[in-house]
Protein backbone atom coordinates (compact mmCIF):
# COMPACT_ATOMS: atom_id res chain seq x y z
CA UNK A 1 0.00 0.00 0.00
CA UNK A 2 1.36 3.41 -0.96
CA UNK A 3 1.38 6.28 1.45
CA UNK A 4 0.82 9.91 0.52
CA UNK A 5 4.51 10.58 -0.15
CA UNK A 6 4.67 7.71 -2.64
CA UNK A 7 2.16 9.32 -4.98
CA UNK A 8 4.11 10.94 -7.79
CA UNK A 9 1.39 13.27 -9.08
CA UNK A 10 -2.01 14.63 -8.12
CA UNK A 11 -3.71 12.92 -11.04
CA UNK A 12 -3.99 16.15 -12.98
CA UNK A 13 -6.21 17.89 -10.43
CA UNK A 14 -3.56 20.51 -9.58
CA UNK A 15 -4.57 20.46 -5.92
CA UNK A 16 -1.56 22.52 -4.86
CA UNK A 17 -2.32 25.10 -7.52
CA UNK A 18 -5.90 25.39 -6.31
CA UNK A 19 -4.76 25.78 -2.71
CA UNK A 20 -2.23 28.44 -3.69
CA UNK A 21 -4.84 30.35 -5.69
CA UNK A 22 -7.31 30.30 -2.81
CA UNK A 23 -4.56 31.41 -0.43
CA UNK A 24 -3.80 34.36 -2.71
CA UNK A 25 -7.49 35.30 -2.87
CA UNK A 26 -7.70 35.18 0.90
CA UNK A 27 -4.65 37.42 1.18
CA UNK A 28 -6.16 39.99 -1.18
CA UNK A 29 -9.41 39.90 0.76
CA UNK A 30 -7.74 40.44 4.12
CA UNK A 31 -5.86 43.50 2.90
CA UNK A 32 -9.19 45.33 2.73
CA UNK A 33 -10.25 44.39 6.26
CA UNK A 34 -8.95 46.27 9.29
CA UNK A 35 -9.61 44.01 12.29
CA UNK A 36 -11.12 40.53 12.29
CA UNK A 37 -12.73 39.70 15.62
CA UNK A 38 -14.21 36.32 16.53
CA UNK A 39 -17.30 36.20 18.74
CA UNK A 40 -17.25 32.94 20.67
CA UNK A 41 -18.94 31.07 23.50
CA UNK A 42 -18.11 27.89 25.33
CA UNK A 43 -21.65 26.56 25.01
CA UNK A 44 -24.80 27.24 23.08
CA UNK A 45 -27.79 29.18 24.31
CA UNK A 46 -25.95 32.18 25.74
CA UNK A 47 -26.97 34.61 22.99
CA UNK A 48 -23.65 34.81 21.17
CA UNK A 49 -25.22 35.42 17.76
CA UNK A 50 -27.52 38.03 19.28
CA UNK A 51 -24.45 39.84 20.59
CA UNK A 52 -22.72 39.57 17.19
CA UNK A 53 -25.68 41.03 15.30
CA UNK A 54 -26.21 43.76 17.89
CA UNK A 55 -22.55 44.81 17.91
CA UNK A 56 -22.48 44.95 14.11
CA UNK A 57 -25.50 47.25 14.22
CA UNK A 58 -24.02 49.43 16.97
CA UNK A 59 -20.60 49.73 15.33
CA UNK A 60 -22.16 50.67 12.01
CA UNK A 61 -24.19 53.40 13.71
CA UNK A 62 -20.90 54.65 15.13
CA UNK A 63 -19.65 55.10 11.56
CA UNK A 64 -17.43 52.01 11.64
CA UNK A 65 -17.54 49.94 8.46
CA UNK A 66 -18.53 46.55 9.84
CA UNK A 67 -19.24 43.18 8.22
CA UNK A 68 -20.50 39.86 9.58
CA UNK A 69 -19.32 36.37 8.63
CA UNK A 70 -21.50 33.53 9.91
CA UNK A 71 -18.98 30.80 10.69
CA UNK A 72 -21.62 28.47 12.12
CA UNK A 73 -22.08 26.42 8.96
CA UNK A 74 -24.42 23.85 10.49
CA UNK A 75 -26.57 26.27 12.46
CA UNK A 76 -26.47 29.52 10.48
CA UNK A 77 -28.73 32.29 11.77
CA UNK A 78 -27.04 35.58 10.89
CA UNK A 79 -28.90 35.95 7.58
CA UNK A 80 -32.21 36.03 9.45
CA UNK A 81 -30.94 38.22 12.28
CA UNK A 82 -29.40 40.75 9.91
CA UNK A 83 -32.49 40.94 7.71
CA UNK A 84 -31.04 39.32 4.58
CA UNK A 85 -32.64 35.88 4.82
CA UNK A 86 -33.99 35.92 1.25
CA UNK A 87 -30.75 37.07 -0.36
CA UNK A 88 -29.12 34.58 -2.73
CA UNK A 89 -25.40 35.20 -3.42
CA UNK A 90 -24.37 35.48 -7.05
CA UNK A 91 -20.91 35.59 -8.66
CA UNK A 92 -19.68 38.93 -9.95
CA UNK A 93 -16.23 39.70 -11.34
CA UNK A 94 -14.77 36.51 -9.90
CA UNK A 95 -16.16 36.96 -6.38
CA UNK A 96 -19.43 36.44 -4.54
CA UNK A 97 -21.62 39.41 -3.77
CA UNK A 98 -22.23 39.82 -0.05
CA UNK A 99 -25.72 40.53 1.17
CA UNK A 100 -26.20 44.03 2.56
CA UNK A 101 -28.97 44.83 4.97
CA UNK A 102 -30.91 48.08 5.06
CA UNK A 103 -28.06 49.77 6.93
CA UNK A 104 -25.42 48.60 4.45
CA UNK A 105 -23.84 45.91 6.63
CA UNK A 106 -22.31 43.16 4.44
CA UNK A 107 -23.22 39.65 5.56
CA UNK A 108 -22.22 36.20 4.36
CA UNK A 109 -23.74 33.00 5.69
CA UNK A 110 -24.07 29.39 4.61
CA UNK A 111 -27.78 29.82 5.27
CA UNK A 112 -28.04 31.87 2.07
CA UNK A 113 -27.04 28.84 0.01
CA UNK A 114 -29.62 26.46 1.51
CA UNK A 115 -33.12 26.18 0.00
CA UNK A 116 -34.80 27.12 3.28
CA UNK A 117 -34.14 27.29 7.02
CA UNK A 118 -35.35 23.72 7.57
CA UNK A 119 -32.79 22.18 5.22
CA UNK A 120 -29.72 20.74 6.99
CA UNK A 121 -26.24 21.15 5.60
CA UNK A 122 -25.17 17.79 4.14
CA UNK A 123 -21.69 17.27 2.71
CA UNK A 124 -21.23 15.10 -0.38
CA UNK A 125 -19.79 11.71 0.57
CA UNK A 126 -20.32 8.01 -0.15
CA UNK A 127 -21.89 7.86 3.30
CA UNK A 128 -22.73 10.44 5.93
CA UNK A 129 -20.43 8.56 8.29
CA UNK A 130 -17.64 9.33 5.85
CA UNK A 131 -18.75 12.94 5.70
CA UNK A 132 -18.59 13.14 9.49
CA UNK A 133 -15.02 11.84 9.48
CA UNK A 134 -13.88 14.58 7.10
CA UNK A 135 -16.24 17.25 8.37
CA UNK A 136 -13.74 19.42 10.19
CA UNK A 137 -11.49 19.71 7.14
CA UNK A 138 -14.40 20.27 4.78
CA UNK A 139 -15.92 22.92 7.04
CA UNK A 140 -12.66 24.86 7.21
CA UNK A 141 -12.37 24.71 3.42
CA UNK A 142 -15.94 25.99 3.06
CA UNK A 143 -15.31 28.75 5.59
CA UNK A 144 -12.17 29.78 3.73
CA UNK A 145 -14.19 30.07 0.53
CA UNK A 146 -16.95 32.07 2.23
CA UNK A 147 -14.36 34.52 3.48
CA UNK A 148 -12.01 34.77 0.51
CA UNK A 149 -14.60 34.58 -2.31
CA UNK A 150 -16.87 37.27 -0.86
CA UNK A 151 -16.64 40.86 -2.01
CA UNK A 152 -16.69 42.53 1.41
CA UNK A 153 -15.54 45.91 0.20
CA UNK A 154 -13.37 47.95 2.56
CA UNK A 155 -14.10 47.16 6.21
CA UNK A 156 -12.83 48.49 9.51
CA UNK A 157 -14.11 45.44 11.40
CA UNK A 158 -15.27 41.96 10.40
CA UNK A 159 -17.14 40.13 13.15
CA UNK A 160 -16.94 36.34 12.81
CA UNK A 161 -19.77 34.51 14.57
CA UNK A 162 -18.32 31.15 15.63
CA UNK A 163 -20.25 27.97 16.45
CA UNK A 164 -20.45 27.11 20.16
CA UNK A 165 -17.42 25.32 21.59
CA UNK A 166 -14.04 26.46 22.84
CA UNK A 167 -12.16 24.44 20.20
CA UNK A 168 -13.73 26.38 17.33
CA UNK A 169 -11.41 29.32 17.89
CA UNK A 170 -8.30 27.22 17.25
CA UNK A 171 -9.76 26.05 13.94
CA UNK A 172 -10.30 29.67 12.94
CA UNK A 173 -6.76 30.65 13.96
CA UNK A 174 -5.42 27.88 11.72
CA UNK A 175 -7.27 29.60 8.89
CA UNK A 176 -6.59 33.21 9.97
CA UNK A 177 -3.29 33.49 11.88
CA UNK A 178 -3.69 37.28 11.97
CA UNK A 179 -7.03 37.19 13.78
CA UNK A 180 -7.08 40.38 15.85
CA UNK A 181 -8.96 39.14 18.89
CA UNK A 182 -11.96 37.36 20.36
CA UNK A 183 -15.04 38.47 22.27
CA UNK A 184 -16.29 35.86 24.73
CA UNK A 185 -20.03 35.76 25.47
CA UNK A 186 -21.55 34.08 28.51
CA UNK A 187 -24.51 34.19 30.85
CA UNK A 188 -24.12 34.33 34.64
CA UNK A 189 -25.37 30.76 35.03
CA UNK A 190 -23.01 28.43 36.86
CA UNK A 191 -22.87 25.96 33.96
CA UNK A 192 -22.00 28.65 31.42
CA UNK A 193 -19.43 30.14 33.79
CA UNK A 194 -17.59 26.84 34.10
CA UNK A 195 -17.34 26.56 30.34
CA UNK A 196 -16.41 30.17 29.61
CA UNK A 197 -13.31 29.86 31.76
CA UNK A 198 -12.10 27.12 29.43
CA UNK A 199 -12.94 29.30 26.43
CA UNK A 200 -10.79 32.14 27.77
CA UNK A 201 -7.94 29.73 28.46
CA UNK A 202 -8.27 28.31 24.95
CA UNK A 203 -8.00 31.79 23.49
CA UNK A 204 -5.12 33.11 25.57
CA UNK A 205 -3.06 30.02 26.37
CA UNK A 206 -3.54 27.73 23.36
CA UNK A 207 -4.73 29.77 20.38
CA UNK A 208 -2.63 32.78 21.43
CA UNK A 209 -5.48 35.16 20.63
CA UNK A 210 -6.07 38.31 22.65
CA UNK A 211 -9.43 38.45 24.36
CA UNK A 212 -11.09 41.77 23.59
CA UNK A 213 -13.32 41.19 26.58
CA UNK A 214 -16.13 39.21 28.15
CA UNK A 215 -19.78 40.11 27.54
CA UNK A 216 -22.30 39.04 30.16
CA UNK A 217 -25.58 38.44 28.37
CA UNK A 218 -29.04 38.10 29.92
CA UNK A 219 -27.68 39.34 33.23
CA UNK A 220 -31.06 40.52 34.49
CA UNK A 221 -34.59 40.72 33.14
CA UNK A 222 -36.14 44.17 32.89
CA UNK A 223 -39.87 44.77 33.18
CA UNK A 224 -40.84 46.73 30.04
CA UNK A 225 -43.63 48.49 31.94
CA UNK A 226 -41.94 49.76 35.09
CA UNK A 227 -38.24 49.09 34.48
CA UNK A 228 -37.83 46.88 37.56
CA UNK A 229 -34.91 44.45 37.25
CA UNK A 230 -34.78 40.87 38.51
CA UNK A 231 -31.93 38.38 38.34
CA UNK A 232 -32.25 36.03 35.39
CA UNK A 233 -29.77 33.42 36.58
CA UNK A 234 -27.71 34.20 39.66
CA UNK A 235 -25.10 36.55 41.05
CA UNK A 236 -23.85 38.51 38.05
CA UNK A 237 -20.70 39.61 39.86
CA UNK A 238 -19.32 36.12 39.18
CA UNK A 239 -18.71 37.01 35.54
CA UNK A 240 -16.73 40.11 36.49
CA UNK A 241 -14.73 38.04 38.96
CA UNK A 242 -14.03 35.42 36.30
CA UNK A 243 -12.78 38.04 33.83
CA UNK A 244 -10.55 39.53 36.51
CA UNK A 245 -9.18 36.09 37.43
CA UNK A 246 -8.14 35.56 33.80
CA UNK A 247 -6.87 39.14 33.50
CA UNK A 248 -9.16 39.98 30.58
CA UNK A 249 -11.48 43.00 30.25
CA UNK A 250 -15.08 42.84 31.36
CA UNK A 251 -17.04 44.70 28.68
CA UNK A 252 -20.35 44.83 30.50
CA UNK A 253 -23.71 43.18 30.92
CA UNK A 254 -26.70 43.13 28.57
CA UNK A 255 -30.04 42.71 30.34
CA UNK A 256 -32.63 40.40 28.84
CA UNK A 257 -35.21 42.22 26.73
CA UNK A 258 -37.72 40.17 24.77
CA UNK A 259 -37.91 42.99 22.24
CA UNK A 260 -34.27 42.35 21.31
CA UNK A 261 -35.06 38.74 20.43
CA UNK A 262 -38.24 39.77 18.62
CA UNK A 263 -36.39 42.32 16.48
CA UNK A 264 -33.64 39.92 15.44
CA UNK A 265 -36.13 37.12 14.76
CA UNK A 266 -37.65 39.42 12.16
CA UNK A 267 -34.36 40.81 10.84
CA UNK A 268 -34.95 44.23 12.35
CA UNK A 269 -32.62 46.59 14.19
CA UNK A 270 -33.29 46.70 17.92
CA UNK A 271 -31.26 49.90 18.24
CA UNK A 272 -33.39 51.64 15.63
CA UNK A 273 -36.31 51.83 18.04
CA UNK A 274 -34.98 50.81 21.47
CA UNK A 275 -31.49 52.28 21.77
CA UNK A 276 -32.46 54.16 24.95
CA UNK A 277 -33.61 50.99 26.71
CA UNK A 278 -31.21 49.32 29.22
CA UNK A 279 -30.19 46.64 26.70
CA UNK A 280 -29.71 49.28 24.01
CA UNK A 281 -27.45 51.48 26.11
CA UNK A 282 -25.47 48.41 27.18
CA UNK A 283 -24.93 47.29 23.57
CA UNK A 284 -23.81 50.78 22.53
CA UNK A 285 -21.39 50.96 25.46
CA UNK A 286 -19.86 47.57 24.63
CA UNK A 287 -19.53 48.54 20.97
CA UNK A 288 -17.71 51.72 21.97
CA UNK A 289 -15.21 49.66 23.97
CA UNK A 290 -14.68 47.30 21.04
CA UNK A 291 -14.08 50.28 18.76
CA UNK A 292 -11.56 51.76 21.21
CA UNK A 293 -9.78 48.41 21.32
CA UNK A 294 -9.49 48.28 17.52
CA UNK A 295 -8.05 51.80 17.48
CA UNK A 296 -5.29 50.80 19.89
CA UNK A 297 -4.43 47.87 17.62
CA UNK A 298 -4.27 49.97 14.46
CA UNK A 299 -2.26 52.82 15.97
121-124, Cβ contacts within 8 angstroms, sequence gap of 24 or more: 121/73, 121/74
* Contact present, 22 and 145 (Cβ < 8 Å): yes
Give the best-scoring range by mean pLDDT among 15-29, 154-168, 189-203: 154-168
Find the length of the chain: 299
* Contact present, 44 and 72 (Cβ < 8 Å): no
Report the distance separating Cα 158 and Cα 33, nearest Å: 7
Mean pLDDT for 229-252 is 86
Burial of 56 (0-12, 13-18, 19+ CB in 10 A): buried
> Which of 226 and 96 is assigned the larger pLDDT?
96
Share of the chain above pLDDT 70, in %: 86
* Contact present, 225 and 262 (Cβ < 8 Å): no
* Contact present, 206 and 170 (Cβ < 8 Å): yes
Residues 64-87 pLDDT 10s: 999 999 999 989 999 999 999 999
pLDDT at 200: 93
Structure confidence at residue 127 as a pLDDT band (50, 70, 90) = low
Structure confidence at residue 4 as a pLDDT band (50, 70, 90) = very low
What is the rounded average pLDDT for all residues in the chain? 86
pLDDT at 285: 98
pLDDT at residue 7 tops 60: no
Q: Which value, to the nearest 10 degrees, does the dihedral of the CA atoms of residues 64, 299, 177, 250 take?
A: -70
Report the distance separating Cα 161 and Cα 158, nearest Å: 10
Lowest-confidence region among 163-167, 259-263, 264-268: 163-167
Mean pLDDT for 236-244 is 86
pLDDT at 29: 76
Report the distance separating Cα 164 and Cα 39, nearest Å: 10
pLDDT at residue 234 tops 70: no
All domains of the chain in start order, with CATH: 27-298 (3.40.50.300)
Mean pLDDT for 191-198 is 86
Amino acid sequence: MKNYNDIATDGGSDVMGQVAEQHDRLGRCLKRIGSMIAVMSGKGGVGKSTVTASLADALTRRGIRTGVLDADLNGPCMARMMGVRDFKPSPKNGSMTAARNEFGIPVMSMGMFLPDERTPLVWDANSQRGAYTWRSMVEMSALRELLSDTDWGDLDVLLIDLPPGAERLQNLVDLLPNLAGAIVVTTPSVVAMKVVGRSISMATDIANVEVVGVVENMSVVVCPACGHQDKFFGETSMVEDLAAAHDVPYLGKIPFDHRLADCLDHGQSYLQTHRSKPAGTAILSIAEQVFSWTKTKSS
